[in-house]
Structure 1
């Protein structure tokens, strides 16, 4: 596992700083079509076209009224900068359970601890990012939960946040660009989303 990054530096970049001031590549877990681990690869190399299928996670957190927490990705990110997406997404370190990675990364990006987080299935997709030329070949583990209290987003990761109802999400999607994977992960997670939020929320 990479060394703990220096405060204020992104852990979602392709490399992570070490204690001696150098940088080492972040490693991802490569998987086959069934999700079985078959090896590792450097993060950037896994996203260079045509991409290598790797393990990922996506998190959907809701407030106590059933609104979904969205984030707009920081403008400085090398992949899909400035687009809106789900609460949090990322990659487990090799050998790290996806649930643990999802909780860790939510804390790192948003300064928030998810509660009542549950597994919501997996989805496999292949999405190119036209702006960067990178490709998302992911076997994505989905998690749904709730969040309360104040958020403390890391500006290196998150440009802004918003809590939205289904209708507000539809309006936002008409005006702004969302991540290529957003609807794939949301549609797959909807059954558990409805269990968490209740039918009245409209998800």
Structure 2
């Protein structure tokens, strides 16, 4: 079944007239990307189109953030592709995104990690939730998110999608500190890192000093 390029889900079709007035073959019509709106307790209250949910002042919606590490305890970072509509070209955590309406956050985190990085984590553990409101100075968009956090391990070679990721890096805490001094990070990075820190220390054994 054809899938929508916007959602990756089955797409709708429209029959377009040909120049001689007869119907031509069906043409795929992209579906909008929809997010799950939530209240302050994370209870679903509706849906909204992705971009509209990020227009100031923003609408609180469900999201997820993933932190993956190698066996040496180094954190996998990604630099967002320059073509991204939101926070392009900045460094951020391994993967982040939004579940489809009705999709479990764990499933969404696993799916999106594979889509963006071309690998599946060998371990992925829930690390709680965090609610934040972060404007993006560059775009004027706002992240009003109820974010589900996940921490895990990755061992297979990465195959990043260039439409999503411009660069990847495995970093120690010291290397991360130097990288943060050299260029911008996503507005939400420190918030999700702080919230996930206890589980990060459990998964890595705190051998890397996180």
Distance in structure 1 (CA, Å) of the matches to 2:194 and 2:11? 36
Corresponding residue number in structure 1 for 2:135: 128
Distance in structure 1 (CA, Å) of the matches to 2:207 and 2:137? 37
* Cα deviation code 1:115-160 (max 9, x no counterpart): 2110001000001111111100000000000001110000000000
- Which runs of no fewer than 5 residues in structure 1 stay unpaired? none
Does 2:141 align with 1:142? no
- TM-score normalised by the chain length of structure 1: 0.92
The 5-angstrom pairing of residues 63-82 of structure 1 reads 63-82=70-89
Distance in structure 2 (CA, Å) of the matches to 1:18 and 1:160? 34
Aligned equivalent of 1:88, options 60, 73, 95: 95
Q: 1:151 to 1:18 in 2, by over 3 A?
A: farther
Corresponding residue number in structure 1 for 2:3: 4
The 5-angstrom pairing of residues 1-203 of structure 1 reads 4-6=3-5, 20-203=27-210
Q: 1:110 to 1:18 in 2, by over 3 A?
A: farther
Distance in structure 2 (CA, Å) of the matches to 1:120 and 1:41? 26
Q: Which has the larger radius of gyration?
A: 2
* Partner SS, residue 24 of structure 1: coil
Count residues with an aligned counterpart.
Answer: 195
- TM-score normalised by the chain length of structure 2: 0.89
Give the CA deviation at 1:199.
2.1
Q: Contact 2:136–2:142 (CA<8 Å) still a contact in 1?
A: yes
Coordinate RMSD, CA, aligned: 1.7
Distance in structure 2 (CA, Å) of the matches to 1:21 and 1:4? 9
Corresponding residue number in structure 1 for 2:21: none
* Cα deviation code 1:12-65 (max 9, x no counterpart): 9xxx97663322210000000000000000001100000000000000000000
- Which runs of no fewer than 5 residues in structure 2 stay unpaired? 14-26
Distance in structure 1 (CA, Å) of the matches to 2:160 and 2:103? 23
